């Protein structure tokens, strides 16, 4: 017995370095709640934001220095893909925290829990990026999602926020059930010996033809469960409401970080785990991707709320990114998705910063509130225009390069119809993005010019600069993406 315990301990010690960033986050976030919170009085809670930024910076460093390897009974795997997507999650979270400062101040809702929950959720995402076993995929998703349920309902005196949280929670729990059920079916179909993705891939190839239906049902259920997490059509119903009701920084958060993590899991589960049974999921996944592009873009056209517009557009962007998951070349697919996600995070954070700025001035997030922004704040409007055009994928902005690499890959892999659909729907997306540009530049402003606060200005300038720099270096981005994380 002691031998077993010793073995366990040494295995733990051997593997722990793989999850240093996550351990660090969990420990620090726990310490923040207690005793950290005791050091600040009610009016000093906003100091948690900069502290969180420092923690995130440390996490980023930890992510980069963690060495490659596999551990914990091959439940977690640290490699280029993991590290790349972990960095995306950290960057997106940093953006969210930056966005949160001002808004929570003006709402008088600064608490340590908010930041701690973000960090816990981030640790779940970091696990999810590297999960190489269906079980660890499941528990990482839960760790990530449960924190976000609470964050969505964070403004607990607002009915919309609570409703959004409730909706998200119920549907999320339901979809997790489907996911787990799918995992159990696959476990059974593969002979009841493994849930490890690599082993599962081999085992599924050996399953007798009589259990084909079992495998098919299992794969589909896992697909449904995961499609729910990235809000792909037809499992997107929660998204617009949750996005609209959540505090705006959390909306920005939901649109970026958890999606990056879930897409990493998508790439790993389907690219590595179900590679051998790809005939079971390629067709359903292409339908999901196509439906997401169509519905996301078409539904966005009619929105009056900017947050809902961005919610629907994020559904469409997920549709595009699923093209990378479909790719028969997992490595190239992962690179293209990674790059797209990086670009999307920057553009989206920038766009949300502008929305938050307007909200901070007491205006709501209706598209009409952008009226005359070009006159009132030329710089802000210009930045917003850059974000929107880039989201629409108008060359030569960096968003075009993201799309270009993704679509190029899709055509290379033979998904021509889907790519044509993607391109046509992105032409549709230009319509609603330009609708916002119209409001900003071609409508007369109403109301007085208000001075701009420093927080959103900083992030708007930063993201806009990033988009422009990315534009200048767009042609080389893919090569760099390959070099940074996959050498």
Partner 1 sequence: MFTANTTLMLVATFLPLLGALVLIFVPKDQRRVFEIGSLLVMIAHLLLSLPFWFGYDRASDAVQWFQAWTWIPALGVKFAVGMDGISLLLWLLTTFIGPIAIACSFKSIEERHKEYYIWMLVLQTAMLGVFITQDMFLFYLFWEVMLVPMYFLIAIWGGPQKLYAAIKLFLYTLAGSVLMLVALLAIYFLQHKTTGSYDFSLASFQAMAPVIAQQSKTYQHLMALAFFIGFAIKVPMFPFHTWLPDAHVQAPTAGSVILAAILLKMGTYGFVRFLLPIMPTATKDLMPWFIGLSLIGIIYGALVAMIQKDMKKLVAYSSVSHLGLCMLGVFALNPYGIKGGLFQMLNHGISTSGLFLVVGIVYERRHTRMIADFGGLSKSMPVYATIFMIMTMSSIGLPLLNGFIGEGIILMGSFQAFPWAAVVATLGIILGAAYMLWMFQRVMFGPISAVNEKMDDLNLREVLYFAPLVVAAFWIGLYPKPIMDVMDAPVRKLVEQVTPGYYAAEALAVKQAIAAKLGMQGMAAPHHGSATSESPNGEQEHPAGHGTAHGEAPATPTHEHPAQGGGN
In the complex with partner 1, the residue whose CB is nearer, 142 or 329, is 329
In the complex with partner 1, the residue whose CB is nearer, 220 or 430, is 430
400 in contact with partner 1 (CB under 8 A):
yes
**Range in contact with partner 1 (rule: CB under 8 A) among 102-110, 276-284, 297-305, 426-434:** 426-434
Show the site string, 250-289: x = touches partner 1 by CB under 8 A, - = not: ----------------------------------------
Q: Across the chain, which distance is largest between two alpha carbons, in Å? A: 78
* Cβ(358)–Cβ(365) below 8 Å: yes
Rounded distance between C-alpha atoms, residue 249 and residue 37, angstroms:
22
- Tokens read off for 349: 């954070």
Rounded distance between C-alpha atoms, residue 102 and residue 377, angstroms:
19
Rounded distance between C-alpha atoms, residue 470 and residue 344, angstroms:
12
Rounded distance between C-alpha atoms, residue 18 and residue 362, angstroms:
45
484 in contact with partner 1 (CB under 8 A):
no
Rounded distance between C-alpha atoms, residue 377 and residue 422, angstroms:
34
379 in contact with partner 1 (CB under 8 A):
no
* Cβ(312)–Cβ(240) below 8 Å: yes
26 in contact with partner 1 (CB under 8 A):
no
DSSP code string of 146-186: HHHHHHHT-STT-HHHHHHHHHHHHHHHHHHHHHHHHHHHH
**Range in contact with partner 1 (rule: CB under 8 A) among 10-18, 200-208, 293-301, 388-396:** 388-396
412 in contact with partner 1 (CB under 8 A):
yes
| Other beta carbons less than 10 A from residue 430's beta carbon | 17
99 in contact with partner 1 (CB under 8 A):
no
Selected from 423, 450, 452, 484, the binder of partner 1 by CB under 8 A is: 423
419 in contact with partner 1 (CB under 8 A):
yes
Rounded distance between C-alpha atoms, residue 14 and residue 389, angstroms:
48
Question: For the chain, how many residues are written?
Answer: 487
Selected from 416, 447, 449, 458, the binder of partner 1 by CB under 8 A is: 416
135 in contact with partner 1 (CB under 8 A):
no
122 in contact with partner 1 (CB under 8 A):
no
User: Which residue in 330, 338, 314, 313 sits closest to 263, CA to CA?
Assistant: 338
**Range in contact with partner 1 (rule: CB under 8 A) among 312-320, 339-347, 351-359, 389-397:** 389-397
Residues 6+ apart with CB under 8 A from 277: 204, 205, 215, 219
* CA separation, residue 282 to residues 205, 287, 469 (Å): 16, 9, 36
Selected from 104, 119, 148, 389, the binder of partner 1 by CB under 8 A is: 389
181 in contact with partner 1 (CB under 8 A):
no
486 in contact with partner 1 (CB under 8 A):
no
**Range in contact with partner 1 (rule: CB under 8 A) among 5-13, 69-77, 115-123, 418-426:** 418-426
**Range in contact with partner 1 (rule: CB under 8 A) among 40-48, 85-93, 362-370, 403-411:** 403-411
Shortest separation between residue 398's beta carbon and partner 1, angstroms: 13
User: Which residue in 131, 122, 26 sits closest to 70, CA to CA?
Assistant: 131
Shortest separation between residue 410's beta carbon and partner 1, angstroms: 9
Shortest separation between residue 278's beta carbon and partner 1, angstroms: 20
Selected from 50, 192, 396, 447, the binder of partner 1 by CB under 8 A is: 396
Give the burial class of 304: count Cβ atoms within 10 A of its Cβ; 0-12 exposed, 13-18 middle, 19 or more buried: exposed
479 in contact with partner 1 (CB under 8 A):
yes
Selected from 394, 450, 462, 465, the binder of partner 1 by CB under 8 A is: 394
Helix (H, G, I), strand (E, B) or coil at 76: strand
Rounded distance between C-alpha atoms, residue 363 and residue 369, angstroms:
7
Residues 6+ apart with CB under 8 A from 461: 379, 383
Selected from 431, 458, 469, 472, the binder of partner 1 by CB under 8 A is: 431
424 in contact with partner 1 (CB under 8 A):
yes
Beta strands in 263-416 (DSSP E): none
Angle at 226 between CA 72 and CA 219, to 5 degrees: 85
In the complex with partner 1, the residue whose CB is nearer, 50 or 475, is 475
**Range in contact with partner 1 (rule: CB under 8 A) among 92-100, 244-252, 360-368, 425-433:** 425-433
**Range in contact with partner 1 (rule: CB under 8 A) among 44-52, 106-114, 245-253, 410-418:** 410-418
Rounded distance between C-alpha atoms, residue 419 and residue 408, angstroms:
9
Shortest separation between residue 485's beta carbon and partner 1, angstroms: 16
**Residues numbered 439-478 forming contacts with partner 1, rule: CB under 8 A:** 441-442, 475-476, 478
Interface contacts to partner 1, rule CB under 8 A = 389, 394-396, 400, 407-408, 411-412, 416, 419-420, 423-424, 426-428, 430-431, 434-435, 438, 441-442, 475-476, 478-479
């Amino acid at each position: 017995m002691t031998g077993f315990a010793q073995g366990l301990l040494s295995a733990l010690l051997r593997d722990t370095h793989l999850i240093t960033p996550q351990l660090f986050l969990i420990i620090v976030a726990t310490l923040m709640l207690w005793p950290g919170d005791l050091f600040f009085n009610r009016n000093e809670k906003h100091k948690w934001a900069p502290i969180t930024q420092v923690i995130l910076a440390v996490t980023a460093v930890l992510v980069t220095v963690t060495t490659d390897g596999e551990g914990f009974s091959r439940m977690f795997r640290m490699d280029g893909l993991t590290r790349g997507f972990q960095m995306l999650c950290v960057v997106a979270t940093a953006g969210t925290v930056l966005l949160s400062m001002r808004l929570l101040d003006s709402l008088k809702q600064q608490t340590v829990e908010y930041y701690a929950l973000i960090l816990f959720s981030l640790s779940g995402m970091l696990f999810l990026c590297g999960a190489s076993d269906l079980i660890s995929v499941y528990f990482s998703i839960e760790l990530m999602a449960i924190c976000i349920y609470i964050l969505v309902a964070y403004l607990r005196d607002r009915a919309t926020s609570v409703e959004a949280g409730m909706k998200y929670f119920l549907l999320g729990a339901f979809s997790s059930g489907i996911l787990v059920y799918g995992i159990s079916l696959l476990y059974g179909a593969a002979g009841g010996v493994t849930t490890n993705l690599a082993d599962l891939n081999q085992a599924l190839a050996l399953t007798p033809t009589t259990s084909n239906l079992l495998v098919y049902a299992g794969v589909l259920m896992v697909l449904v469960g995961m499609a729910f997490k990235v809000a792909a059509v037809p499992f997107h119903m929660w998204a617009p409401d949750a996005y609209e009701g959540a505090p705006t920084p959390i909306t920005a958060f939901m649109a970026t970080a958890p999606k990056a993590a879930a897409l990493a899991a998508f790439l790993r589960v389907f690219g590595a785990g179900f590679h051998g049974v790809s005939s079971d999921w390629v067709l359903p996944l292409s339908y999901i991707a196509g439906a997401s592009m169509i519905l996301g873009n078409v539904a966005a056209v009619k929105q009056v709320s900017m947050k809902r517009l961005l919610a629907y557009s994020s559904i469409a962007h997920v549709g595009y990114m699923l093209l990378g998951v479909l790719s028969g070349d997992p490595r190239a697919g992962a690179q293209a998705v990674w790059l797209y996600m990086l670009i999307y995070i920057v553009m989206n954070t920038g766009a949300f910063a502008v929305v938050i700025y307007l909200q901070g001035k007491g205006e709501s997030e209706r598209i009409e509130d952008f009226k005359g922004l070009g006159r009132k704040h030329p710089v802000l409007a210009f930045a917003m225009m850059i974000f929107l055009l880039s989201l629409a994928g108008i060359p030569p902005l960096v968003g075009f390069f993201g799309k270009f690499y993704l679509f190029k890959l899709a055509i290379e892999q033979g998904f021509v119809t889907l790519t044509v659909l993607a391109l046509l729907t992105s032409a549709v997306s230009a319509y609603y993005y330009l609708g916002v540009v119209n409001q900003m530049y071609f409508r007369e402003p109403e109301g007085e010019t208000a001075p701009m606060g420093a927080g959103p200005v900083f992030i708007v300038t930063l993201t806009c600069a990033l988009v422009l720099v990315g534009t200048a270096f767009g042609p080389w981005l893919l090569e760099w993406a390959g070099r940074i994380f996959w050498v």
